[in-house]
Homo-oligomer: A and B are copies of this chain.
Amino acid sequence: MDYKKIDDKDIEFLVSVLDKERVFTGERIHNDFSHDELGKISKMPDVVVEVLTTNEVSKIMKYAYDHRIPVVARGSGTGLVGACVAIYGGIMINMSKMNKILELDEDNLALTVEPGVLLMEISKFVEEHDLFYPPDPGEKSATIAGNINTNAGGMRAVKYGVTRDYIRGLEIVLPDGKIIEVGGKVVKNSSGYSIKDLICGSEGTLGIVTKAILKLIPLPKKVISLLIPFTNLDMAINTVQKIVKSKVVPTAIEFMQREVILAAEEYLGKKFPDNSSDAYLLLTFDGNSTQEIENSYEKVADICLEEGALDVFITDTEERKEAVWSARGAFLEAVKASTTDMDECDVVVPRNKVAEFIKYTDELQKQFHVRIRSFGHAGDGNLHVYILKDDLTKTAWEEKLSKVFEAMYSKSRELKGLVSGEHGIGFAKKHYLLEQYGSDYLELMKNIKLSIDTKNILNPGKVCQ
């Protein structure tokens, strides 16, 4: 693409808007800004700028638009598909210092935040006020704008839905620098096309989120988790189906295997409450009355035992909860630390196809002699499957990776699944999005992209391009 190359005059302009300390070039750019969490896609931006206000973002975008300079906005960089990598160089806007919680409106159960506020800060803040922001992706150091841009899901989607469902309003800087507000503190909205929902999940390609109004709900008074061991994963996952059909709604249903638990124990240097079985389900229930929760979890415990569960551990003490959930939160890091390199498949399949998909990844493991680890959201069909490099050469691994990915995404399509449940497409998964949707559908997305970003300067080369 034909973009203007950054020169001294551009840097001069950026310094005039931000001052010198917030404009980084050359060796002053930290290497972190060249990649995201998974690190496979890598490219240095020409300049990194640190913004503090919406107006600064707007001025930079207007300038970039006038001069046709590519721009990428970046939060914590915890993505896994290269969405925040400046593959065409240009300006990287570091949004992470726009990190204030602006207002808690208890009358309207709404929280207004800047884009760089971290997920862990939001949950802590609102829970202190007896309120609840339900989306709960594993990566708590992601920014809220990062979560909005991937429409992150997390563990509680079974009962509460995903990030999209908790975004009431957004302030957005458009690719040409214009600032618009979409939605608001209102609960319903049928006032024109939902730009809010178009931005949500667009991975920084359509606009830059500079403010968000989040929907809160009252904090459930009681939460309890069950850790349930099974002889094998097949039995565990088949049981999920029975739970969904029983019409009990747990808050979360996670599955995990012994190998991943052992990796987490090693990584954290902490013991998991039990590691003697091959496979586990981890379920959470929440509600406002003990009776309500007990009814639910007793019914589910009975179902699990009928289906062959070896035991049912109730994790109702703070200590046990911490042991279980800190391990669950560390799975990605633990698997990563257990190998030399890895890549991830984040498909989502209909819930009754989870067992079939996981069984298939087991077959692929044997067929390709490559180590595959998985864990994820059994209750909502969103799986995180990791293909590990171990001692394979780079070439051998990349070859296997490509074949294993082809096989997995093709299986997902066969099961009427989709390419990504919550991590997005970014740069790394574009090929599989095309295979999923075909060129007509991709063309539709491209046309939407260009109708909003006419000069194609905002995070170009991502998602559908």
Task: List residues of A whose CB falls within 8 A of some B CB.
Answer: 105-110, 130-131, 150-153, 157-158, 161-162, 164-165, 174, 178, 180, 183-195, 197-198, 200-202, 206, 217-219, 241, 244-245, 247-249, 287-289, 291-292, 295-296, 346, 348-352, 377, 380-382, 416-425, 433, 436-437, 440-442, 444-445, 447-452, 463-464
Give the CA-CA distance A219 to B249 in the complex, in Å. Answer: 11
Give the CA-CA distance A191 to B438 in the complex, in Å. Answer: 13
Q: Is the CB of B448 within 8 A of A188?
A: no
Give the CA-CA distance A273 to B417 in the complex, in Å. Answer: 50
Give the CA-CA distance A110 to B381 in the complex, in Å. Answer: 14
A444 to chain B, nearest CB (A): 7
Q: Is the CB of B292 within 8 A of A445?
A: no
Q: Is the CB of B189 within 8 A of A421?
A: yes
If A218-B247, A289-B291, A448-B451 touch, whether A198 touches B193 (CB-CB below 8 Å) is yes
If A194-B197, A245-B107, A292-B289 touch, whether A189 touches B418 (CB-CB below 8 Å) is yes
Give the CA-CA distance A291 to B200 in the complex, in Å. Answer: 38
Q: Is the CB of B445 within 8 A of A452?
A: no
Q: Is the CB of B445 within 8 A of A193?
A: yes
**Closest B residue to A149 using CB positions:** B190
Given the complex, which residues of B lie within 8 Å of A197, measured CB to CB?
164, 194, 197-198, 200
Q: Is the CB of B423 within 8 A of A190?
A: yes
**Closest B residue to A184 using CB positions:** B416
Q: Is the CB of B165 within 8 A of A165?
A: yes
Given the complex, which residues of B lie within 8 Å of A189, measured CB to CB?
151, 201, 348, 418, 420-421
If A107-B351, A186-B381, A197-B198 touch, whether A192 touches B157 (CB-CB below 8 Å) is no
Inter-chain pairs besides A108-B244, A109-B244, 18 sampled, C-beta below 8 Å:
A107-B350, A107-B352, A151-B194, A180-B437, A188-B348, A188-B421, A189-B348, A190-B346, A190-B421, A190-B424, A191-B437, A193-B464, A194-B198, A198-B448, A291-B292, A447-B452, A450-B451, A451-B451
Given the complex, which residues of B lie within 8 Å of A187, measured CB to CB?
153, 157-158, 348, 351, 380-382, 421
Given the complex, which residues of B lie within 8 Å of A445, measured CB to CB?
192-193, 195
If A190-B420, A289-B289, A463-B192 touch, whether A185 touches B448 (CB-CB below 8 Å) is no
Given the complex, which residues of B lie within 8 Å of A421, measured CB to CB?
186-190
Which single member of B180, B188, B201, B464 contacts A444 (CB below 8 Å)? Answer: B180
Give the CA-CA distance A381 to B296 in the complex, in Å. Answer: 33
A231 to chain B, nearest CB (A): 23
Q: Is the CB of A150 within 8 A of B190?
A: yes
**Closest B residue to A464 using CB positions:** B192
Given the complex, which residues of B lie within 8 Å of A451, measured CB to CB?
447-448, 450-451
Given the complex, which residues of B lie within 8 Å of A416, measured CB to CB?
184-186
Given the complex, which residues of B lie within 8 Å of A151, measured CB to CB?
188-190, 194
Q: Is the CB of A190 within 8 A of B201?
A: yes
Give the CA-CA distance A189 to B425 in the complex, in Å. Answer: 11
Given the complex, which residues of B lie within 8 Å of A190, measured CB to CB?
150-153, 201, 346, 420-425
Q: Is the CB of A108 within 8 A of B350?
A: yes
A278 to chain B, nearest CB (A): 25
A451 to chain B, nearest CB (A): 4
Task: List 10 tightest A-B contacts by C-beta distance, closest first.
Answer: A197-B197, A218-B247, A451-B451, A107-B352, A187-B380, A188-B421, A447-B451, A153-B188, A185-B350, A186-B348
A252 to chain B, nearest CB (A): 12
Given the complex, which residues of B lie within 8 Å of A245, measured CB to CB?
106-107
Q: Is the CB of A418 within 8 A of B292?
A: no
A40 to chain B, nearest CB (A): 18
Q: Is the CB of A188 within 8 A of B381?
A: yes
Sample (25) of A-B pairs whose CB atoms are under 8 Å apart: A105-B350, A106-B245, A107-B244, A108-B244, A109-B244, A151-B194, A162-B188, A164-B194, A165-B165, A186-B417, A187-B421, A188-B422, A189-B348, A190-B421, A191-B420, A192-B463, A193-B445, A194-B198, A195-B445, A197-B197, A198-B198, A291-B291, A292-B292, A444-B452, A447-B452
Give the CA-CA distance A159 to B218 in the complex, in Å. Answer: 11
A144 to chain B, nearest CB (A): 16
Give the CA-CA distance A352 to B184 in the complex, in Å. Answer: 13
Which single member of B152, B249, B444 contacts A217 (CB below 8 Å)? Answer: B249
